[in-house]
Chain A
């Protein structure tokens, strides 16, 4: 990439990609943090290893999900930085 990475056009496209990733991650965050647990009472019908599933998802499942999402996000965002040649010098 020989072109100047900091051109307004490049920065605008970079921000569009970054925003798209932001909305995607926020959707996952909403699902894991809130949406999923609205169904806890029905999910509790399933019991695994003594855990009612709805309870387990709020106590442990969602947390594992958060950690996976956040590490996945950092990798994706780093790749965007590099693609636009906008990562730090």
Chain B
């Protein structure tokens, strides 16, 4: 079916996708109106979302990897920006972020700031130069700049561990949704969600992504905005939640004073962790290979910069709504649970208690941050289909991110490690089968880790950012901006930063080590970053300066015009 140029098909894909989503939603609304039970409607939303993704994958199946990159070279900056934003909005942004603000108040805003500001670093320090270099992946760049195999391998190690943590967060998110809406135990739901993810990536893979992401952005943001627009209208009379939530916050504060409860924290509390986390998330954004690889393939250097700018704009649209989501969710919890001092549990309370994310004991209501976004429509008494829509949006956001990440891990291991480093004479068919096997194994491992509930979604995804920042940021930025950075300096710097960060996370999380200076392990990059920077600088200064060919290569990627002067192949 969908053959030919991306731009020609854009309109059609858009209509199929949004039309499909709308009609699916309409069917479920109708079912609900005809008196079909909420339980069945909930199952319907989950199954239809998975089915829809599998179908889109099938439609786009005819295209192969080369064409995927080629397609990128013709997509205008606006669409690249939108597709990047869709890819970016994962379970962490959709399910986790508003919950963190709900629970921690001001301190939760570290996620809002950290996951947007990093794009400025991408635009200024990296994207245009990586685009001029132009060769597909971050390990490719590291290998070209830092003399081959060791740098490539170290890049892959960081990429694989960071992406793995990221995938665990996504699978955890799909597990929560499946457990709640299919009514099955969480440990089982994780694997059900996994089947959905694998089905989609096996059927379509990377090829499917570019076709659907632009349309997916619209659906995801609509699913996020709809309950907020409804609540803002109901509570304040004006349907602009991003402006009206100040009023909701004031209401909540008044109720808290009346009930003699401690008011929410709206100012800075823990400075070290707040700023430390922002820094890790920002530098991590500028180091995550699945974000950066998008900008290797824009039509031009100029478009690379503009694409980053558009990505940031589209991401900000969701992110300015997250604090509003938190504020209105809290107002509804006060209005419907705390003020009427609810005792007998409504249906949603029982359902969420079964997942283990909500409880009401002796008049004390508690809700896990990861349940806030998904449960808010029901708590507020909105029609159940709204809750279903939010769940479908969250599922779409988690599944697409998990797909892309699993594919990039599998590609890195089968293509970069097996083919490039171990067995260059491997047959294509052989490599493809190996890639699939690796993907299933990695996915199963990730699902198993997720089923152990290692931590909330945000913490797990936060580790991914700390690991990426500690491992790759110094090597990437210095590789472009500092000609003196040497092969040995970069490889040792990446290894040291990554190892310190990983050690801190594992030791504080699993081995009971006391935190250093009170830094939470989500901001482990606070130790990894200076180590990687220091090692890279020092070792570089004590080793022989890069060759003239290497300096010419760096000069050639710094200017938009002219040929890239590659250093003769060393691997």
Interface residues of A (CB under 8 A from B): 5-6, 11, 14-15, 18-19, 21-22, 25-26, 29, 32-34, 37-38, 40-41, 44, 48-52, 54-56, 58-60, 62-64, 66-67, 69-71, 73-74, 77-78, 81, 85-89
Identify the stretch in B274-282, B465-473, B510-518 within 8 Å (CB) of chain A at 4 or more residues. Answer: B274-282
Task: List B280-313 residues whose CB lies under 8 Å from chain A.
Answer: 282, 300-302, 305-306, 308-309, 312-313
New A-B contacts (14) at CB < 8 Å, excluding given A18-B558, A49-B246:
A6-B561, A22-B125, A37-B275, A38-B271, A38-B275, A41-B267, A50-B245, A50-B246, A58-B113, A59-B112, A59-B323, A62-B117, A63-B112, A67-B313
Minimum C-beta distance from A13 to chain B (A) = 11
Q: A52-B267, A88-B300 are in contact. Are A71 and B309 (CB under 8 A)?
A: yes
A residues within 8 A CB of B312?
Answer: 66-67, 70
Whether the pair B302, A81 counts as a contact (CB closer than 8 A) is: yes
Task: Provide the bound-state CA to CA distance between A60 and B114, in Å.
Answer: 13
Contact of B561 (CB < 8 Å), options: A50, A78, A88: A88
Please state if B316 and A34 are interface contacts (CB–CB under 8 Å).
no
Is B319 among interface residues, defined by CB-CB distance under 8 A?
yes
| Contacting pair A78 B124 (CB below 8 A) | no
The reply on B560 being an interface residue by CB < 8 A is: yes
Return the contact of B119 from the options A22, A34, A59, A66 (Cβ within 8 A).
A66
Contact B112 A70 (CB under 8 A): no
Q: Are B246 and A29 in contact (CB under 8 A)?
A: no
B559 within 8 A of A: yes
Q: Are A63 and B116 in contact, with the CB atoms below 8 A? A: yes
Q: Is the interface of A mostly helix, strand, loop or mixed?
A: helix
How many positions in chain B have a CB within 8 Å of any CB in the partner chain?
Answer: 51
How many residue-residue contacts, CB under 8 A, span A and B?
Answer: 139
A12 to B123, CA, bound (A): 21
User: Does B278 lie within 8 Å of A77, measured CB to CB?
Assistant: no
The 8 closest A-B pairs by CB, nearest first: A50-B246, A33-B117, A51-B246, A59-B323, A41-B267, A50-B250, A58-B109, A49-B246
Q: List 15 A-B contacts (CB under 8 A).
A: A6-B559, A32-B117, A38-B271, A40-B268, A49-B247, A55-B106, A60-B320, A62-B116, A66-B120, A70-B123, A73-B120, A86-B559, A86-B560, A87-B302, A87-B560
Closest to A30 in B: B117
Are B278 and A34 in touch, CB under 8 angstroms? Answer: yes
Q: For residue A59, which residues in chain B have a CB less than 8 angstroms away from its CB? A: 101, 109, 112, 320, 323
Q: Is there a chain A Cβ closer than 8 Å to B266's Cβ? A: yes
Interface flags, B543-561, vs A, CB<8A=1, else 0: 0000000000001001111
* B residues lining the A interface (CB < 8 Å): 101, 106, 109, 112-113, 116-117, 119-121, 123-125, 128, 242-243, 245-250, 266-268, 271, 274-275, 278-279, 282, 300-302, 305-306, 308-309, 312-313, 316, 319-320, 323, 481, 555, 558-562
Interface hub of B279, B301, B561 (most chain A Cβ within 10 A): B561
User: Quick one: given A29-B117, A40-B106, A49-B247, are A55 and B267 in contact (CB under 8 Å)?
Assistant: yes
Q: List, in ascending order, chain B residues with CB within 8 A of A49's CB.
A: 243, 246-247
Minimum CB–CB distance for B130 against chain A, Å = 15
- Among the listed A22, A60, A69, A77, which residue makes an inter-chain contact with B242, where contact means beta carbons less than 8 Å apart? A60
Once the chains bind, are B249 and A37 in contact (CB under 8 Å)?
Answer: no
A15 and B320 alpha carbons, distance in the complex (Å): 35
CB distance from A23 to the nearest CB of B (A): 10
Is the beta-carbon distance between A41 and B268 smaller than 8 angstroms? yes
Question: Are B301 and A88 in touch, CB under 8 angstroms?
Answer: yes
* Cα of A73 to Cα of B127 in the assembled complex, Å: 13
Complex interface: chain A residues within 8 A of B101 (CB): 59
Provide the bound-state CA to CA distance between A26 and B266, in Å. Answer: 27
Q: Are B561 and A37 touching (Cβ within 8 A)?
A: no
Residues of B within 8 A of A48 (CB): 246
The reply to whether A37 and B119 form a contact with Cβ atoms under 8 Å apart is no
Nearest residue (CB) in A for B248 is: A50
A39 CB to nearest chain B CB (Å): 9
Contact B113 A73 (CB under 8 A): no
Cross-chain contact A11 with B558 (CB below 8 angstroms) = yes
Specify which chain B residues have a CB less than 8 angstroms from the CB of A41 in the assembled complex: 267-268
Q: Is the CB of B300 within 8 A of A44?
A: no
Question: In the assembly, what is the distance between CA of A72 and CA of B109, in Å?
Answer: 25
A5: contacting residue among B246, B320, B561, CB under 8 A: B561
How many angstroms between the C-alpha atoms of A87 and B560 in the bound complex?
Answer: 6
Q: Are A86 and B266 in contact (CB under 8 A)?
A: no
Assess whether B267 is in contact with A50, with CB atoms less than 8 Å apart: no
B333 to chain A, nearest CB (A): 18
Closest to A51 in B: B246
